[in-house]
Amino acid sequence: MEEKPVLLLEVFRMHNEQMSKLVGKDYAPGTMDRYSTSLQHTRDFIKWKFGTEDIDVKKLSYQFITDYEFWFKTVRNCAHNTTIKYLANFKKVIHICLKNGWLERDPFLGFKMSKREVVRECLTEAELQRMAEKEFVTDRLGQVRDVFLFSCYTGLAYVDVQQLKRSEIGEGMNGERWIFTKRQKTETPSRIPLLPVPLEILDRYQDHPQCLYQDRVLPVLSNQKMNAYLKEIADVCGIRKPLTFHIARHTFATTITLSNGVPIETVSRMLGHRNLKTTQHYAKILDQKVSDDMQQLRGRLVLKREAADEL
């Protein structure tokens, strides 16, 4: 009897159904959304390339992967790194087929999955100061600015600030107030000592109705609204950078910590990174740190030369 073919999208759907039951345990909701989108993309690509609803997994080949990459970049108009992210999701489904013996050869064999390095924007100390001192005409803009600055001085991502509860602020080992939370994206713990700026912001919203009602530390709007208001704030403060909430996290990693001599291992722990390599991306863009270090070296060399001349 002829063996019943194993269909690619059926395997993908089975994987997603199992994943959906583990959301909140092993996976974050955002991860589930990403795999749902990946399944839809795979369905659209198969229809575009083969004109069918599904294909036998045995038809998967290296050319299938390169054509899929081409489809993402041309038909979907995705950037290179976005394409690689979707292909990485798809690769997980391929591994399921390989491990079950439904596929003999890995179609990804020889395919390069490397991402291109992206220069990450961050705010300078002068820009942070300008934003902090600015008087806004509406309370809403001031509120968005405060939440953004809180993230700049704690390194918390948008979703982690939005969900931060009052019970997650406690006394640290030095007797000062710390944040004790888990990153939603990776479920890794973050322990962050609070600097003077976020402490002032916390006290400012101590009695805010939204915070009291929702048991939250800060009144945070939707990510879309926050980013819309941040563009307005950037214009008012004369900041010529594409300001989004995620820049706050980069600012903490660079301007606030690494530039001021905080060891990269400490920064990595506060950011809740699983891997030091993730944190090292931030260290590559510290032109200011390079400038300051070389300025100090220049000063030491001048002193040495002067001392030698005196002899």
The residue segments making up the domain with residue 282 are: 125-288
Nearest partner of 84 among 98, 104, 61, 68, judged by Cα: 68
CATH assignment of the domain containing 167: 1.10.443.10
Q: How do residues 33-53 score in pLDDT, each as one tens digit?
A: 999 999 999 999 999 999 999
Residue 179 and residue 253 in one domain: yes
pLDDT averaged over every residue in the chain: 87
pLDDT score at 87: 95
* 290 has pLDDT over 80: no
One-letter amino acid identity for 39? L
Distance, in Å, from the CA atom of 89 to the CA atom of 42, rounded to the nearest integer, reads: 10
Q: What percentage of the chain reaches a pLDDT higher than 90?
A: 43
Spatial CA neighbour of 232 closest among 221, 255, 195: 221
Query: Looking at the structure, do residues 45 and 193 belong to the same domain, yes or no?
Result: no
Boundary-marking domain end, from 99, 117, 149? 99
Which among 108, 100, 104, 105 has a CA at the least distance from the CA of 68? Answer: 108
Task: Name the helix (H) or strand (E) containing 189.
Answer: strand 189-193
Average of pLDDT values for 273-292?
69
Query: Does some domain include residue 237?
Result: yes
- Report pLDDT for 211: 78
pLDDT band at 14 (very low <50, low <70, confident <90, very high): very high
Q: Note whether 133 and 61 are same-domain residues.
A: no
Render pLDDT for 237-276 as a digit per residue (tens, 0 to 9): 998 888 889 899 889 988 888 888 888 888 888 887 777 7
Q: Are residues 59 and 154 in the same domain?
A: no
Please report which confidence band the pLDDT of residue 91 belongs to, taking 50, 70 and 90 as the band edges. very high
Q: Which pLDDT belongs to residue 288? A: 60
Task: Sheet containing 189-193: give its strands across.
Answer: 169-171, 177-182, 189-193
Is residue 197 a part of any domain in this protein? yes
| Residue/partner pairs of 263-269 with CB below 8 Å, 24 or more apart | 267/155, 269/190, 269/191
pLDDT over 60 (residue 2): no
114, part of any domain: no
The rounded distance, in Å, linking the Cα atoms of 129 and 21 is 46
Residues 72, 14, single domain; the answer is yes
Determine, yes or no, domain membership for 116. Answer: no
Q: Same structural domain for residues 66 and 169?
A: no
pLDDT band at 31 (very low <50, low <70, confident <90, very high): confident
Are 16 and 143 found together in one domain? no
Secondary structure (H, E, C), 32-65? HHHHHHHHHHHHHHHHHHHCCCCCEHHHCCHHHH
pLDDT band for 109, please (50, 70, 90 cuts).
very high
* Domain presence at residue 224: yes
Q: What pLDDT does residue 228 have?
A: 92
DSSP code, position 256? I
For residues 170 and 59, state if they share a domain.
no
User: Are 54 and 165 contained in the same domain?
Assistant: no
Question: In degrees rounded to 5, what are phi and psi of residue 175?
Answer: 85, -5
- Total number of domains constituting the chain: 2
Q: Are residues 135 and 264 in the same domain?
A: yes
Look at residue 187 and tell me if it is in a domain: yes
**Mean pLDDT of all residues in 26-34:** 83
Query: What's residue 220's pLDDT?
Result: 87
Q: What is the CATH number of the domain that holds 53?
A: 1.10.150
Q: Check residue 260 and give its pLDDT.
A: 84
Could you say which of 99, 133, 150 is where a domain stops?
99
With a cut of 60, say whether residue 69 has pLDDT above it. yes
- At residue 219 the predicted structure's pLDDT band, cuts being 50, 70 and 90, is confident
In a domain? residue 264? yes
Same domain membership, residue 154 and residue 234: yes
Q: What is the pLDDT of residue 283?
A: 67
Residue 104 lies in a domain: no
Provide the pLDDT for residue 187. 67
- What are the tens digits of pLDDT across the range 144-203? 999 999 999 998 888 889 888 888 888 888 888 888 887 766 667 788 888 999 999 988
Q: Which of 66-70, 221-225, 256-260, 285-289 has the lowest mean pLDDT?
A: 285-289
Distances (CA, A) of 136 to 20, 203, 248: 43, 19, 20
Least confident range from 195-204, 227-236, 275-284: namely 275-284
Statement to judge: residues 133 and 226 lie in one domain:
yes
